[in-house]
Structure 1
Amino acid sequence: FTGLEGGMGTLPGAIADACRAAGAEIRLDAPVRSLRRTPTGWAVTVGPDAGTAEETTADAVLLAVPAGPAARLLADHAPAAARELEGVDHASMALITVALRRSDLDRPLPGSGFLVPAVDGRLIKASTFSSGKWEWAGRDPELYLLRASVGRHGDPGAVAMDDADLVRGALADLREAVGLTAVPVASVVTRWIDGLPQYAPGHTDRIDRVRRALADLPGLRACGAAHDGVGIPACVATARAAAEDLLRTVPAHPTD
């Protein structure tokens, strides 16, 4: 399988490094609390709480955030777009990653993983045998990495379980599915709350209405996984199109 050396988690860091090298400033732990129109663009209130928030100005704002936060920020400026985005439902998920001693595996795990249909009634919905799927993840001669995912739309209970119960439940399902009996030497649980937008029938029409509602607001556009797809190619394409459209609405600054 094709992938990035070190995993897809390396991609955001590489993009951030490229942006900084091009002169961009990236501010972390700086949630946007509100937007305000100004004669020349937008004022953005940023900060973890009202007492420490500060306002910064911008010629243009691209909301590359989930549908819920985007709806909140757009409510006063594009209420029709906000209502549409509020209607996008989401599912949460958790990834359970474990490291096993290769010497504890009774036999090689088959293939690169498997999916679990909801009708099976299992905790996990999929498992990836990472060390068998990606060459870089299989280089350690002593450890074997695999992961399982939990969390389905309309069933938030699994994601709310504590880490220890998630690990135990995932291992029990793996034992039933592929006969895995090895005990992990390490494990980590990563949760993505509301991380998977749900594309109900009529979703493309909904997003078309969002874009039309924003078309009359110079210097403000929105993009993200809730728009045209959760995959990286879809997110990149949506962001590129939104940024290009945004720039067309902003007057060019005079140059020396």
Structure 2
Amino acid sequence: MSVPVVAVVGGGITGLVAAYRLRAAFGPDARIVLLERSDRLGGKLRTVLLAGGPVDVGAEAFIGRRPEVPALLDELGLTDQLVHPTGARPLVYAGAALHPLPAGTLMGIPAGARALDGLVDDDALARIAREPEILLDWDSDGDMSVAQLVGSRFGEQVVRRSVDPLLGGVYSGLSDTAGVRATVPALARALDEGAASLTEAVARALPVPSDKPVFGTLRGGYGVLLDALEQAAGAEIHYGTTVSNLRRISNCWSLDPIGEVDGVVLAVPAPEAAALLAGSVPAAAAHAAEIPLASSVTVSLALPSKAALPQNSGILVATGEELSAKAFTLSGRKWPHLAERDVALVRASFGRFGDDRLVDAPDEQLITLARADLATVTGVADEPAAAFVQRWYGGLPQYRAGHTEIVAAFEREIDGIDGLAVAGAMLHGVGVPACVESGTKAAARLAARVAG
């Protein structure tokens, strides 16, 4: 039996998990080649040193109620790295004022008027209260944007002050470009199952109350996980490598610059997947090309420990406010291990799908904007001891209306092709747990189809 040779294209969290799973499946003698076009692994996860300690400048949390990340940490002997939030609640900046983030909503969509009391005006509250009386027109075979659904039922103010801030934080987009089925699947299921109103559908779709923490992170930052995966995968890593000319040759695949391999996992953003598949699986490439990306930038600030920041985990910004930032994470308030630092850590986020004009702004301009917006929102204007600017070009795929159909069609074209698997945030979720699951499933599919 020959020793398998497999290639993983893309060294983000998805590709690293796939390489790690392939090592477990094929054993120590297999040649696993990891090809990464940049000079580092991790993709949209990155941990840097700021003011003497590690800080995540990409994703900084994962959904704690999903099992994938805790299970992976346990496998890698990193359970002691798991940290849960302090319990501080976030705020929303809307109407030039701070409000508590509404509880009892589904991605900001309320199950009743009481949830948004104080965040929206009396007319919006009255409209929410009347919504169950209005005939609901929902196509169980179709899809629409979240803005179209919520705006038609609850009004524009609910969309901009409650829904947009949450969707912007998850997807770097707006509810106008977020499809209901892909971004709020539990709501779509409730509507498909016959909920008579949006209010009823939200009430059905709300998660069961739980004592488990909603989020988690790593004490040493995601870099600890990335390093452990790299070591455990034992892959041959090629940095600064652009892959091209993916093609099927007899029972093998070939790709430049490494030549023939027994199998390939593509763990790259949708446009790269489309380019790589164009010659060998053109129908799949056409579907991948339909998934656009949003760019963004984060500015991490290390303020003096005495900075009078609110005792909240973060501040989401409603659409239409006179600010450049879309959100602030008050990291030192949100995470207990960061609260122990002798600085107050804050992160400002800029950029949404269709509005990335600030992504290429000079660092000093972005730092100045972050400080000015933070001062406007909180009154805190302290000079930072250190700052770090991180740009994320094409950081997040946009799950527009019809995304689930695009992905289903894409996967139909890929399924059944021996030696080829595709994974990543372009498919079934942008969060770290979803990427871990995607990389795991891709590795399993490939291992089942590649003869040793």
Per the normalisation by structure 1, the TM-score is: 0.88
Picking from 400, 408, 412, the partner of 1:212 is 412
Contact 1:6 1:137 (C-alpha < 8 Å) held by counterparts: no
Deviation at 1:246, TM superposition (A): 2.2
Q: Does 1:111 align with 2:312?
A: yes
Q: Is the 8 A contact 2:300 2:345 kept in 1?
A: yes
Q: How does 1:111-130 map to 2 (within 5 A)?
A: 111-130=312-331
Preserved contact between residue 67 and residue 86 of structure 1 (Cα < 8 Å)? yes
- Do the aligned residues in 1 keep the contact of 2:309 with 2:378 (CA within 8 Å)? no
**Secondary structure of 1:158's match?**
coil
Q: Tell me if 1:30 matches 2:230.
A: no
- Asked whether the 8 Å contact 1:88–1:197 carries over to 2, the reply is yes
Given candidates 145, 162, 165, the residue that maps to 2:365 is 165
Shift of 1:216: 3.9
1:13 corresponding residue in structure 2: 227
Distance in 2 (CA, whole Å) between partners of 1:121 and 1:90 is 25
Q: Give the deviation of 1:110 after TM superposition.
A: 2.4
Residues 67-125 of structure 1: per-residue CA shift (max 9 Å, x gap): 0000000001111110111110111010100111224x2x2432111111222142111
The equivalent residue for 1:181 is 381
- Is 1:225 the counterpart of 2:425? The answer is yes
Matched, 1:42 2:253: yes
Once the two structures are TM-superposed, the CA of residue 226 in structure 1 deviates from its matched residue by 0.7
Checking the alignment, whether the CA contact within 8 Å between 2:292 and 2:398 is kept in structure 1 is yes
| Structure 2 partner of 1:70 | 273
C-alpha separation in 2, matches of 1:94 and 1:113:
17
Given candidates 395, 419, 439, the residue that maps to 1:239 is: 439
The CA deviation string for residues 113-144 of structure 1, in whole angstroms up to 9 with x for no partner, is 11112221421111111112112222223x22
Instruction: Verify the 8 A CA contact 1:70 1:82 in the aligned structure 2.
Output: yes
Q: Separation in 1 of the partners of 2:294 and 2:379?
A: 29
Q: 1:113-152, aligned counterparts within 5 Å?
A: 113-141=314-342, 143-152=343-352
- When normalised by structure 2's length, the TM-score is 0.51
Which piece of structure 1 moves more, 55-64 or 37-46?
Answer: 37-46
In 2, Cα distance between the equivalents of 1:146 and 1:6?
A: 17
Conservation of the 8 A alpha-carbon contact between 2:309 and 2:380: no
Write the distance in 2 (CA, Å) between the matches of 1:129 and 1:66.
Answer: 29
Question: Deviation digits for residues 231-255 of structure 1, max 9, x if unmatched?
Answer: 01111112222222222322x22xx
Structure 1 residue identity aligned to 2:303: L
CA separation in 2, counterparts of 1:12 and 1:57? 27
How far, CA to CA, are the matches of 2:288 and 2:425 in structure 1? 12
Matched, 1:84 2:287: yes
- Could you say if the C-alpha distance between residues 30 and 204 of structure 1 is closer, same or farther in structure 2, counting changes exceeding 3 Å? same
Paired with 1:216 and 1:17, the residues of 2 have a C-alpha distance of 31
- Quote the RMSD (CA, aligned, Å): 1.5
Q: Say which structure, 1 or 2, has more relative contact order (CA 8 Å, 6+ apart).
A: 2
Structure 2: give runs of 5+ residues left out of the alignment. 1-84, 86-215
Question: Do the aligned residues in 2 keep the contact of 1:225 with 1:231 (CA within 8 Å)?
Answer: yes
Equivalent pair of 2:274/2:286 in contact (CA under 8 Å): yes
Q: Which moved more, 1:74-83 or 1:55-64?
A: 55-64
Q: Paired residue for 2:200?
A: none
Residue 198 (structure 1) aligned to one of 398, 420, 424 = 398
> SS state of the match for residue 122, structure 1?
coil
The amino acid that maps onto 1:88 is I
Q: Which one-letter code corresponds to 1:67 in the other structure? A: A
For the 8 Å contact 1:115–1:126, the answer to whether it is kept is yes
Q: CA deviation at 1:215?
A: 2.1
Instruction: Give the letter for the 2:278 counterpart.
Output: A
Residue identity in the other structure for 2:326:
K
- What SS is found at the alignment partner of 1:65? coil
Match of 2:262 in 1: 59
- What SS does the aligned partner of 2:349 have? strand
- Structure 1 runs of 4+ aligned residues shifted over 3 Å read none
- Structure 1 CA distance, aligned partners of 2:228 and 2:323? 37
Whole-Å separation in 2 of the counterparts to 1:117 and 1:78: 42
SS in 2 for 1:149: strand
